[in-house]
Each structure stands twice: as structure tokens, then as C-alpha cells.
């Protein structure tokens, strides 16, 4: 059974997609062992509670400095003893110590086709605003391993979504979520849970 901890900051629609996929069997052999939010008012916490999933909030406001916040975040993850950490709309720069400790065991969903519209400052609606401003005809979403950079880790899965005439950032975001994010994140988790995608340190030859 793959133990996953899901880190969230907002609405939790990607968390919901994972919950629904486990419920329908699209994801097998997997258990969400903890939801971790950095925002006390994240609706994702309500989704966790409604589905009987243990959740904790680690808010930067509750700590005197970044270091103690980082330590609390790592502790919240460690306590859950996850095999895999899933960043699902998590708007926190992970501490290097965590990335090293969970090398190739942290994945992120980003709402564009990396390397387009990613990196510092590209999150949420801003990603879709940039795509519309550039006039791309195709955008999409990417699942990637998390490394020390921002949206720079090895790409695992991508799915393209068409941009339509008259799209607003909100309309485009919804299409990318429905047609890409909510598909490729559960697919990736299921592949990891069933050994089709290996995680953790690559075996040295």
C-alpha cells in the first residue's frame, strides 16, 4: 500500500481528484495518510475532514522564523511516514533538507507545459494569464519530481489542453484542471503505487 502525504494551500481540487480516484479504483493500492496545509482556511482541509483523512496545518505565522517553520513542516511530513509526498497547489518553497531527505519521492502538479510559464511567480491564475498574454494555442499541465529549483525537477507526465477564442484566465484554469491536472496527477500516483514508475533514489550501478 502506497502511503501518500498531500500538501495543500488552497481549494484542494487536486486533493479531491486523488480522493475520488481512490474511491473509484482509478488509483489502487494507495492510502492518503495525511493532508498538510500551510493555510488554516484552506478549503482542502474541509475536503480532508469530509473524507476522514487526518490533516494538520503548519502556518508560517505560528513560528518566530523560517527555520522553525521549516523544521515543523518536515516533522509534519515525517510523522506521517509517507512513501510519497504530493504537492497539490502547495505554495511553499520546500526546505532543502526535506528535498534531500525525500529525493525522488516528492511530486508536484504545475498548471502549464513546463518549461513554459513556470518558475518563480508562476502559480495559480498567473500561469494562465501569462499563457493568454503570450497567445499560445496549446497549454496544459505537468507532473514532475521536485528538486531544489522551482518547477525544475525531472518531468514525469504532461497533458496538452487547447486554448480557445475568448478564454479568460479563469475559464482556461478550469479547463486545464478538468482535462489535465485532475487526470495526470491521479494517473501518476497509480503508476507509482503499482510499480510502473519507480521513486526514491535511483539504484547506483
Binding region for ligand GRF (CB under 6 A): 8, 10-15, 44, 88-89, 109, 111, 124, 177, 181
Inter-residue long-range contacts of 16-25, CB under 8 Å, 24+ positions, other chains counted:
16/47, 17/181, 17/182, 17/185, 17/186, 18/86, 18/88, 18/185, 18/186, 18/189, 19/47, 19/51, 19/53, 21/186, 21/189, 21/190
Q: Residue with the closest Cβ to ligand GRF?
A: 89
- The verdict on whether 110 is a catalytic residue reads yes
Query: Which is closer to ligand GRF, CB of 70 or CB of 142?
Result: 142
**Phi then psi for 34, rounded to 5 degrees?**
-165, 145
Query: Which is closer to ligand GRF, CB of 39 or CB of 105?
Result: 39
Asked if residues 33 and 24 have their Cβ atoms less than 8 Å apart, the reply is no
Query: Which is closer to ligand GRF, CB of 30 or CB of 112?
Result: 112
Q: Which residues are the active-site residues?
A: 110
Amino acid at each position: 500500500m502506497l502511503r501518500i502525504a498531500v500538501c495543500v494551500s488552497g481549494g484542494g481540487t487536486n486533493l479531491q481528484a486523488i480522493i475520488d480516484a481512490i474511491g473509484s479504483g482509478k488509483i489502487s493500492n494507495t492510502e492518503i495518510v495525511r493532508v498538510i496545509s500551510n493555510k488554516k482556511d484552506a478549503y482542502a482541509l474541509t475536503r480532508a475532514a469530509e473524507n476522514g483523512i487526518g490533516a494538520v496545518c503548519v502556518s508560517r505565522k505560528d513560528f518566530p522564523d523560517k527555520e522553525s517553520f521549516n523544521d515543523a513542516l518536515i516533522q509534519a511530513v515525517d510523522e506521517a511516514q509517507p512513501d510519497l509526498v504530493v504537492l497539490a497547489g502547495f505554495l511553499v518553497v520546500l526546505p532543502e533538507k526535506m528535498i534531500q531527505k525525500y529525493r525522488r519521492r516528492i511530486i508536484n502538479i504545475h498548471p502549464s507545459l513546463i518549461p513554459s510559464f513556470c518558475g518563480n511567480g508562476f502559480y495559480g491564475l498567473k500561469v494562465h494569464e501569462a499563457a493568454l498574454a503570450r497567445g499560445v494555442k496549446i497549454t496544459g499541465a505537468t507532473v514532475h519530481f521536485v528538486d531544489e529549483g522551482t518547477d525544475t525537477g525531472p518531468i514525469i507526465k504532461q497533458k496538452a489542453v487547447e486554448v480557445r477564442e475568448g478564454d479568460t484566465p479563469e475559464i482556461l484554469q478550469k479547463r486545464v484542471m478538468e482535462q489535465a491536472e485532475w487526470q495526470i496527477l491521479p494517473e501518476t500516483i497509480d503508476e507509482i503505487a503499482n510499480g510502473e514508475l519507480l521513486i526514491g533514489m535511483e539504484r547506483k550501478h
